[in-house]
Structure 1
Amino acid sequence: MPVAVPRALLVALVVLGGFLTAPPPASAAPPFVRGGETVPVYDYADAIRESVWVQTPTDADEDGVPDRVAVDLVRPRTAPGVKVPVIMDASPYYACCGRGNEGELKEYDENGVISKEPLFYDNYFVPRGYAFAGVDLSGTNRSTGCEDVGGPAEVAGAKAAIDWLNGRAPGFTADGTPVSARAWSTGKVGMIGKSWDGSIANGVAATGVRGLETTVPIAAISSWYDYMRYNGSLRSSGYPGYLQGVVSDRIAECAAVTASLANDSADETGDYNAFWRARDYRPSAGQVHASVFVVHGVNDLNVTTPQFAEWWQDLAAHHVPRKIWLHKTGHVDPFDLRRAEWVDTLHQWFDFWLQGLPNGVMRAPRATVETAPGTFTSARDWPLPGTRPVSARLGSSVVSYTDESLSEDAAVASPSTEVPGRIALLYGPLTSPLRLSGTPSVRLRVQVDRPTTQLTARLVDYGTATRVDYGRGEGVRTLATESCWGASTPADDACYLDVAERTATADHEVLTRGWLDAAHHRSLRFTTPLQPGRWYTVTVPISASDTTVAAGHTLGLVLTQSDPEFTEAANTGATVKVDLATSRLTLPISGKATLQPAPAGTVVTTAPIAPAERKAQPRLQLPQ
């Protein structure tokens, strides 16, 4: 296992927008701090393992009793008076689906005491003077209440665990005996987790709860609307209820919540309403007082990139201390991508924010971005400093295309060939590399002969190269070897199978995608049916990315309508006219590169596709 190296001391605190970039140092170093970092001095096998049921402010199951969340703790057996901070992973997956690449579940001994926590956090950090808390989200595993899928009850339950660690909420043992954390907890908490777990970390941070010092959201959701809707287009119908049913076995006790998930989520319109506002953490970014370490894959097709990009920008606007890692794989934990670098960086991060150790982690470059398979570079910020929006018109003529429900492969293949159902526009070959860093968009001047249709846009890199193959196994593969990260017991080992990036050589790659239900072109809160024969200006947001199109390659913009692989938008048979001369593609370009003028575009035929030839509706996914 890699040995950490002591870091240089910070000379002074720096204040940015009211936030301290360094916590105040402890008055005296605790026994687990040596050389400016925490070191493993406690016996993991002798750690205290216990379960506490923390009372929440909600009664989601309406049984007249406040809900309680189960908190399974592993903490070092410290000397009296020695207190430790807590690393917390609040998850709905501890009993149903597992965590990590190997799908680990919580396990208990014959007395119901936690014997195995998933992942390496407790194995590695408990010997170093941290406690670990695995929190069952409301309505899951051993918690009461109801699973409301990113909603107020779920967030309130995880927040209550932090309140208990700070003496602000009651906690009880299994037999109902009150229990306090004051004797051993400093009250400082760092929330971490991938996907749904990280999403709740975002939600709890947005409450501004005192004691939450830092969050590490990995491939996390910041707006559940944007997770289940793509600008008015349904990703899959009934998605909230589906997720509740997967992670919770308390459906019978939660009839009201289940009904709300089905009825208030507005599948019939795709609108953003009060139900989704309650599950949107971005408007509350100004209440975030915890530092944030964002990790995301730019090719994550499960939790797409607007989830991190918009949260990141909102945090920046409020001067929240932050750091970001971006990689080229899909829905992947950095532990399964850059294991040694990740554990070392995470160790520094928690030492700084939870232990008050001035190790210089906040003086390092704010952004780390994978620029080629296995190659990571640092930058002062993200999007890259100096990035600017560059617009290019799409052509000079008016073209039309009729919905054909094309697969992605069919939509982007052979861009110079006429393909019914698409418009393919090409920029290049490029005379120099084109670095995109941020969020693109395409503004279209259109006429539609139906009240609505879905508009889909893809940016494609045409040119042969070896790239991360994110379409297979999220871009990683599990190896036969393993490595160990912390101490083990017979019930909970710290060893995990190694993982490597998966690469492939291909003549093109879809860089990023965007969708819009055209009737939502004025607002996501309501629909505005389109009138045939009338011209409209609509903007299709394209998911954020960070990528480089090599010199000699060609950048393609591919426009289609319904997208059966990613959404449930119906094929309406609509014909769309596009005025290329008044339409614009806007790209976030770093450096001095420019786009060559686009050609006139590929005019396509309008023959409708037979229903039997259309692909099946998209499968539901877990934000896991």
Structure 2
Amino acid sequence: MAGAVLVAPSIARAAPRYSYADAIRESVQVETPLDNDADGRPDRVVVDLVRPREAAERGIRVPVVMVASPYYQCCGRGLENERKEYADDGTVTQFPLYYDNWFVPRGYAFAAVDAAGTSRSTGCADVGGREEILAVKAAIDWLNGRARGFHADGTGASAGWSTGRVGMIGKSWDGSIANGVAATGVRGLATIVPISAISSWYDYSRYAGVVRSRRHHVYLHNYTSGRPAGVCTAVTSELSAGSDDATGDYNAYWAERDFRPDARTVRASVFIAHGLNDTNVTTTQVGAWWSALAKHRVPRKIWLYQQAHTDPFDVRRAEWVRTLDRWFEYWLKGVDNGIMREPQATVERAPGRWVDEPSWPAPSLQVPVRLGNGTLGLRPAAGTVSFTDDPSLGESALVAQPNTPVAGRLMFLSAPVPTSLRVSGTASVTLRVRVDRPTTNFSVRLVDYGTADRVNYGNAAGGVVRQTTESCWGQSTATDDACYFDTVEDVVSTDHAVITRGWLEASHHASLSSPTPLDPDRWYTMTVTFQPHDFVLATGHVLGLVVSQSDRSFTSPTPSGATVEVDLAGSRLTLPVAGPVRIGEPDRAPAVTTSRAPDPPAADVVPHA
């Protein structure tokens, strides 16, 4: 299908002016300020570029769309796992994804940056650390004349063809790099579009002191490294020691990889896209980052959808490309196309039903819901209930059969709600507890009990199904196809669904950096925060709160054998209740009906694809 462009005219509002086939392709090595492979020379990151030849010949400077990634050679990008492919002279003949095909003909350059220590870049990957972030910052500095660049033959390379305005975009780890670079406040970075991205590596690898996956940063380094064996041994030792699996504490290592405190330095606008059911990069990443950006009045926009770790290109393709096109046009070219006067938030409320809203989370009232003897209600209850850790219980067993007692869990159920109830933002549960061990893990879940059509976000593609048809998004060449398999949402009818989850390692209840062992004779009040969400509990459905301890479905379990006593009068669930409820009009794309209910993925996941 090379050369075919099957995009609807309504999408291509900024008509292409330049030839992608004739574009200039070059590879530049940008010098960074660090030398973490300790070879005595500044590390270099490779910036592979494609830019319109006609603009260069006419002396027209162009802005840059950039994706910095550790995945260009090890793993590939997108549902079709595309990798960079090279000509004999080292320039790229195929760039992954559609950004180059779409934006270069519209007057942008596209830059694909190999993260430090991966693919053809030197240095050593430090997984969200200074090397990773400052190396990509150097690429932006080079585009603005503030860093040195070199061709493969050692001659100097300049970026006089660039306006210096850069928009970073990327999914998962790629988007995480964009967040980190924006947090440096680098001049020239005009906007970022982080998709399913990390804003705190601690919250990715730890859940309030609960260890999610052990030796994960060493694994990620090894998984993506492009360096010869032995070159990065010192760095992997630092990753192992700093991540400190033995405690789950927040320390200097994690602080270096926490971008949220630096939201005050962000100069770029931010357009976030994230799956509400992402169990890989959970919604805590977007919720906390969004709040920090809002506090500092960073211009921003957000899309939230029902899928898991999924790109909106594979969820609502035409509308996403149209919106992204206008976003970059505004922030990189200065065209006042009205996008910043439109609603800030776009939320998929139910499969295929989208609502535009002025802000997110929606304005809400914090409603305290009391815990009774197996019930949720508005009146306080007296007495205590207790349960003992059962590490054999996975999520499916924890939430099934809500009316049947199950050892190892506490189940609290509301009455059927008389009218639809919308919860928008971050819920929490406060527990007054006495624990007969120095610590234990708490795992909490909110569950929607009631039959409905729901996105099957636990499938292999995060809630979509690839079709046999293709559509094309930009111009193609013989070596770089702009065409991608179409997708539709994978929708199933189920009688219940986990809405959101939360965890807490009990000795960290007062401090993530300084844990305190529990006294078995003392009562403690501790709050477990759920992952931010936006959901509607339909009329007649029942809201369930499930409390357990070890969680083998989503963490590296550390069974405690603890028995926990819960004081009902001192405990409560707090819900950010918003209204009124708008479901939205369904999209035209059909859904796929299957017989499989959503299943959570394994706990040890990689932020990829």
**Fold match, TM over 0.5?**
yes
Correspondence for 2:551 = 563
Q: 1:616 & 1:53 partners in 2: Cα distance? A: 38
Correspondence for 1:437 = 424
Would you say the 8 A contact 1:49–1:73 is kept in 2? yes
Of 153, 156, 167 in structure 1, the residue corresponding to residue 131 of structure 2 is 153
Would you say the 8 A contact 2:419–2:538 is kept in 1? yes
Of 12, 15, 26 in structure 2, the residue corresponding to residue 50 of structure 1 is 26
User: For the structure 1 residues 247 and 170, does the alpha-carbon distance in structure 2 shift closer, same or farther, using more than 3 Å as the test?
Assistant: same
Q: How does 1:434-583 map to 2 (within 5 A)?
A: 434-473=421-460, 474-583=462-571
Q: 1:387 & 1:492 partners in 2: Cα distance? A: 48
Deviation at 1:5, TM superposition (A): 7.0
After superposition, the C-alpha distances for 1:544-583 in whole angstroms (9 at most, x for unaligned) are: 0011010100000000000001111311111000011110
Instruction: Specify the code of the residue in structure 2 equivalent to 1:261.
Output: L
Of 269, 275, 294 in structure 2, the residue corresponding to residue 291 of structure 1 is 269
Correspondence for 1:599 = none
Correspondence for 1:67 = 43
Correspondence for 1:18 = none
Correspondence for 1:347 = 325
After superposition, the C-alpha distances for 1:496-547 in whole angstroms (9 at most, x for unaligned) are: 0011110111110000000000010011002101111210001111100011
Would you say the 8 A contact 1:568–1:617 is kept in 2? no
Q: How does 1:181-220 map to 2 (within 5 A)?
A: 181-182=159-160, 184-220=161-197
Mapped pair 1:3 → 2:18? no
Q: 1:529 & 1:150 partners in 2: Cα distance? A: 31
Q: 1:271 & 1:228 partners in 2: Cα distance? A: 11
Q: Which SS does the other structure have where 1:300 is aligned?
A: coil
Of 215, 218, 221 in structure 2, the residue corresponding to residue 244 of structure 1 is 221
Correspondence for 1:398 = 384
Would you say the 8 A contact 2:201–2:257 is kept in 1? yes
Would you say the 8 A contact 1:303–1:623 is kept in 2? no
Correspondence for 1:338 = 316
Q: Which SS does the other structure have where 2:204 is aligned?
A: helix
Correspondence for 2:406 = 419
Would you say the 8 A contact 2:458–2:601 is kept in 1? no
After superposition, the C-alpha distances for 1:331-389 in whole angstroms (9 at most, x for unaligned) are: 000000111001000000000000010100001100000011011100000001x2121
Structure 1 residues 569-578 or 363-372, which shifts more?
A: 569-578
Q: Which SS does the other structure have where 1:236 is aligned?
A: coil
Q: 2:58 & 2:226 partners in 1: Cα distance? A: 40
Mapped pair 1:96 → 2:96? no
Q: How does 1:606-617 map to 2 (within 5 A)?
A: none
Deviation at 1:616, TM superposition (A): 13
Q: 2:349 & 2:554 partners in 1: Cα distance? A: 26
Q: 1:92 & 1:249 partners in 2: Cα distance? A: 9
Mapped pair 1:589 → 2:577? yes
Correspondence for 2:604 = 619
Q: 2:405 & 2:447 partners in 1: Cα distance? A: 17
Q: 1:331 & 1:167 partners in 2: Cα distance? A: 36
Would you say the 8 A contact 2:11–2:321 is kept in 1? no
User: For the structure 1 residues 347 and 620, does the alpha-carbon distance in structure 2 shift closer, same or farther, using more than 3 Å as the test?
Assistant: closer
After superposition, the C-alpha distances for 1:261-296 in whole angstroms (9 at most, x for unaligned) are: 001111111000000000000000000010000000
Deviation at 1:591, TM superposition (A): 2.3
Would you say the 8 A contact 1:446–1:577 is kept in 2? yes
Deviation at 1:622, TM superposition (A): 3.2
Mapped pair 1:274 → 2:252? yes
Would you say the 8 A contact 1:564–1:616 is kept in 2? no
Aligned-pair RMSD on alpha carbons?
1.4
Q: 2:314 & 2:415 partners in 1: Cα distance? A: 36
Deviation at 1:110, TM superposition (A): 1.8
Q: Which SS does the other structure have where 1:188 is aligned?
A: strand
After superposition, the C-alpha distances for 1:236-274 in whole angstroms (9 at most, x for unaligned) are: 110110000100032521122110100111111100000
Q: 1:446 & 1:254 partners in 2: Cα distance? A: 46
Correspondence for 2:588 = none
After superposition, the C-alpha distances for 1:211-244 in whole angstroms (9 at most, x for unaligned) are: 0000000000000000000110111110110000
Q: Which SS does the other structure have where 1:169 is aligned?
A: coil
Structure 1 residues 567-576 or 478-487, which shifts more?
A: 567-576
Q: 2:188 & 2:10 partners in 1: Cα distance? A: 27
Instruction: Specify the code of the residue in structure 2 equivalent to 1:351.
Output: E
Deviation at 1:313, TM superposition (A): 0.4
Deviation at 1:469, TM superposition (A): 1.0
Q: Which SS does the other structure have where 2:323 is aligned?
A: helix
Instruction: Specify the code of the residue in structure 2 equivalent to 1:186.
Output: T
User: For the structure 1 residues 617 and 592, does the alpha-carbon distance in structure 2 shift closer, same or farther, using more than 3 Å as the test?
Assistant: closer
Q: 1:280 & 1:501 partners in 2: Cα distance? A: 33
Instruction: Specify the code of the residue in structure 1 equivalent to 2:507.
Output: A
Q: Which SS does the other structure have where 2:21 is aligned?
A: helix
Task: Count residues in correspondence.
Answer: 571
Deviation at 1:623, TM superposition (A): 4.1
Q: 2:577 & 2:199 partners in 1: Cα distance? A: 25
After superposition, the C-alpha distances for 1:448-482 in whole angstroms (9 at most, x for unaligned) are: 00111100000000001111111123111111111
Q: 1:617 & 1:206 partners in 2: Cα distance? A: 31
After superposition, the C-alpha distances for 1:140-159 in whole angstroms (9 at most, x for unaligned) are: 00000010001000000110
Q: 1:579 & 1:419 partners in 2: Cα distance? A: 19
Would you say the 8 A contact 2:120–2:226 is kept in 1? no
Q: 1:61 & 1:587 partners in 2: Cα distance? A: 49
Q: 2:259 & 2:84 partners in 1: Cα distance? A: 28
Would you say the 8 A contact 2:300–2:344 is kept in 1? yes
Of 103, 107, 118 in structure 2, the residue corresponding to residue 125 of structure 1 is 103
Instruction: Specify the code of the residue in structure 2 equivalent to 1:40.
Output: P
Correspondence for 1:24 = none
Q: Mind listing any 5+ residue stretches in structure 1 that lack a counterpart?
A: 7-36, 594-614
Of 287, 290, 298 in structure 2, the residue corresponding to residue 309 of structure 1 is 287
Q: Which SS does the other structure have where 1:622 is aligned?
A: coil
Deviation at 1:112, TM superposition (A): 1.4
Deviation at 1:592, TM superposition (A): 7.2
Instruction: Specify the code of the residue in structure 2 equivalent to 1:414.
Output: Q
Instruction: Specify the code of the residue in structure 1 equivalent to 2:386.
Output: S
Would you say the 8 A contact 1:44–1:123 is kept in 2? yes
